[in-house]
Amino acid sequence: MKAKIYITYKDGILDPQGKTVGGALNSIGLSNIDNVTIGKFIEMDFDQKISIDEAKKIAEESCEKLLANPNTEKFHYEILDTE
Partner 1 sequence: MKRFAVIVFPGSNCDHDAYHVINSMDNTSVNFIWHKESTLDDYDVIIVPGGFSYGDYLRAGAIARFSPIMKAVIEESKKGKQIIGICNGFQILIECGLLPGALITNKNIKFLSKPVFLNVVNNKTSFTHLLNNGDIISMPIAHKQGNYIADESTLKELEENSQIAFKYHNDNPNGSLLDIAGIFNKQKNVLGMMPHPERASDQNLGSNDGFKIFESILES
Positions that interact with partner 1 (CB under 8 A): 13-14, 16-17, 20, 40, 66-67, 69, 71-72
Between residues 10 and 57, which has the closer beta carbon with respect to partner 1?
10
Long-range contacts, stretch 20-23, CB < 8 angstroms, 24+ apart: none
Q: Considering the complex, what minimum distance in angstroms separates the CB of residue 57 from partner 1?
A: 19
Q: Considering the complex, what minimum distance in angstroms separates the CB of residue 47 from partner 1?
A: 22
Give me the phi and psi of 24, to 5 degrees please.
-65, -40
Between residues 17 and 51, which has the closer beta carbon with respect to partner 1?
17
Q: Considering the complex, what minimum distance in angstroms separates the CB of residue 65 from partner 1?
A: 9
